A = this chain, B = another copy of it.
Amino acid sequence: MDFLELSDRIIDSAGSHKQISAAATNRRQAPTDFSIIYSKDLLPASGGEKVTKEFLHELLNILLGYICKSSRRSGKVLDFHHPHQLKEGLEGFSLQLTDKPETLEQILVDCRDTLKYGVNTGHPRFFNQLSSGLDLIGLAGEWLTSTANSNMFTYEVSPVFILMEEVLLKKMQGIVGWSDDEGDGIFCPGGTISNLYSILVARYYFYPEVKTRGMRALPQLAIFTSEHSHYSVKKSAAVLGMGSENVLMVKCDESGKMIPVELESSIVAAEERGLVPFYVNATAGTTVYGAFDPFNDIADICHGHNLWMHVDAAWGGGLLMSDRHRMKLQGIERAWSVTWNPHKMMGVPLQCSVILIKKRGLLQDCNELGAEYLFQRDKPYDVSYDTGDKSIQCGRHVDVFKFWLMWKAKVFWYQSSRGNFTCGELVVMFASPLPQPEHSNVCFWYIPPTMRGLPPGPDRDTRLHQVAPRIKHRMMEQGSVLIGYQPLGDKVNFFRCVFSNPATQQEDVDFLLDEITRLGNDL
């Protein structure tokens, strides 16, 4: 016990602040000198309000500068450096941690440098991932979320956020097409975890004993998903102890859609090998082509075999908001679970992903353990709102508020997704895509002039395989635009251009196509 130490600390921190606020008062209107101020002078230090306000205002100026620059086409998408260059330190920007506290001035400089050497994912010419753009309402939501600094485990600590989650889950269940008396769900850290939940809950639905006894008490289960589906299905099967080789990949047609008769025959073949089929993942918007599986046909097959049908609509779910495009998801309402990432097509800041489960109560039964330090039953409110035991996490980040705020601020995703599609159609005019896009991904090869006369075949493929990486390399060095590429099946490396950024306009599409031509012309 050392009261003196405690008192010293209080006096010390108050004392050091007094010097600063006296200095600040003497220099009224003069800019604050952050080079003599440290983090210990900020709140909760006694009298730290003024310095706190000045520090966060200065930070806001830095962030606003970045936001405004991001939206200007004159700025770069990225300022590329190799890992060893950044690690060695560039123009005084050191990633290394020292043993003495830095001043707030240095902290602000570090913030500027971190943004400077990062990738500008909100830039109108960032086409690299399914998530892009910077929605300012979503950003405001995220800033508030981190200021509230709470946790989703109980109503007790997050009353507003827990109820917002309920409101949004119900809304999304309705949009999927489920009736008012069905539907459950939870916000998760990303689409892979959402897909993992779907398999976890499906397994529990058919074999509730798995929770206590494990996979060894079960027959050898089999999972079905298309060869174009996201790798998270296989990854989840490995994590869940089901084995990645028990995920059977169903053939797709040329456009990337699962072929229903192939699913049917895969199921029969698996049964003949002694496996027990129980779960089918269908995809709404595949990662590379953006294809939509035929949900009604798949639902018929699942119904016939009594299999759990999941729809991974991480990418395609956003189209449910569009009168024009939602028919692509026809039959999704027959799924028993749905993954939907508002951080993709709906532009919510990272991350925001939802797993929806049709049958109410399953999620809770599957995961609850009733830890008594958190989920006491003798609390003074309706403890059914302590939803944290539905989760495979304990602490859970608040991902719901930014989404709720965006939903309030805008009911115009329909229009913006139409804009994205129109941009996609511009690329289609330029390049003959593989295949004709259903979503706003457009996949295409750039064929340099010297290769245009070559006959299709292995020689041409070998050369073509190197074109996209080489153009991408040049793009990264120049920092003018960013687009992804990959091979798929028997197709050598091709570009995948993703339109999900509302900042992207026709001129950016033109720029991208010109830039590819310029950078790849000599290959």
A243 / chain B contacts, CB cutoff of 8 Å: 210-217
- Whether A74 is near chain B, meaning CB under 8 Å from some CB there, is no
Whether B393 and A190, one on each chain, are in contact in the complex, defined by CB atoms closer than 8 angstroms, is yes
A472 / chain B contacts, CB cutoff of 8 Å: 379-380
For the complex, give the distance between the alpha carbons of A142 and B379 in Å.
Answer: 32
Oligomeric state, in copies: 2
A128 / chain B contacts, CB cutoff of 8 Å: 156-157
Question: Smallest CB-CB separation from A114: which chain B residue?
Answer: B160
For the complex, give the distance between the alpha carbons of A120 and B155 in Å.
Answer: 13
Whether A119 and B157, one on each chain, are in contact in the complex, defined by CB atoms closer than 8 angstroms, is yes
Whether A486 and B100, one on each chain, are in contact in the complex, defined by CB atoms closer than 8 angstroms, is no
For the complex, give the distance between the alpha carbons of A215 and B215 in Å.
Answer: 6
For the complex, give the distance between the alpha carbons of A376 and B213 in Å.
Answer: 39
Contact with B along A376-404 (1 / 0, CB 8 A): 10111110010000001111111001001
Given A157-B129, A216-B215, A42-B412 contact (CB < 8 Å): no
Whether A95 and B160, one on each chain, are in contact in the complex, defined by CB atoms closer than 8 angstroms, is yes
Whether A142 and B137, one on each chain, are in contact in the complex, defined by CB atoms closer than 8 angstroms, is no
Whether B382 and A82, one on each chain, are in contact in the complex, defined by CB atoms closer than 8 angstroms, is yes
A200 / chain B contacts, CB cutoff of 8 Å: 239
Question: Smallest CB-CB separation from A79: which chain B residue?
Answer: B159
Contact with B along A109-150 (1 / 0, CB 8 A): 011001101110110100011010110110110111011111
Given A147-B66, A349-B146, A422-B6, A241-B244 contact (CB < 8 Å): no
- Whether A485 is near chain B, meaning CB under 8 Å from some CB there, is yes
- Whether A301 is near chain B, meaning CB under 8 Å from some CB there, is no
Contact with B along A458-495 (1 / 0, CB 8 A): 00000000100100110011000000111110000100
Question: Closest CB-CB distance, A393 to chain B, in whole Å?
Answer: 5
A:350-397 near B, CB below 8 Å: 350-351, 353, 367, 369, 371-374, 376, 378-382, 385, 392-397
Binds B, one of A226-234, A253-261, A302-310, A431-439: A226-234
17 more contacts with CB within 8 A, not counting A211-B244, A374-B486, are A6-B423, A40-B410, A43-B134, A44-B133, A83-B155, A134-B149, A146-B146, A190-B396, A193-B392, A213-B246, A214-B241, A214-B242, A216-B216, A288-B373, A343-B395, A376-B469, A378-B469
The 6 closest A-B pairs by CB, nearest first: A241-B241, A214-B243, A44-B503, A142-B146, A215-B215, A215-B241
Task: Name 28 A/B residue pairs within 8 A (Cβ), A-sorted.
Answer: A3-B422, A39-B409, A39-B410, A53-B68, A59-B140, A63-B143, A83-B163, A83-B381, A83-B382, A95-B167, A96-B167, A100-B411, A102-B408, A110-B408, A118-B148, A119-B157, A131-B149, A131-B151, A142-B142, A151-B350, A156-B476, A196-B392, A203-B241, A216-B243, A217-B243, A231-B371, A240-B241, A241-B241
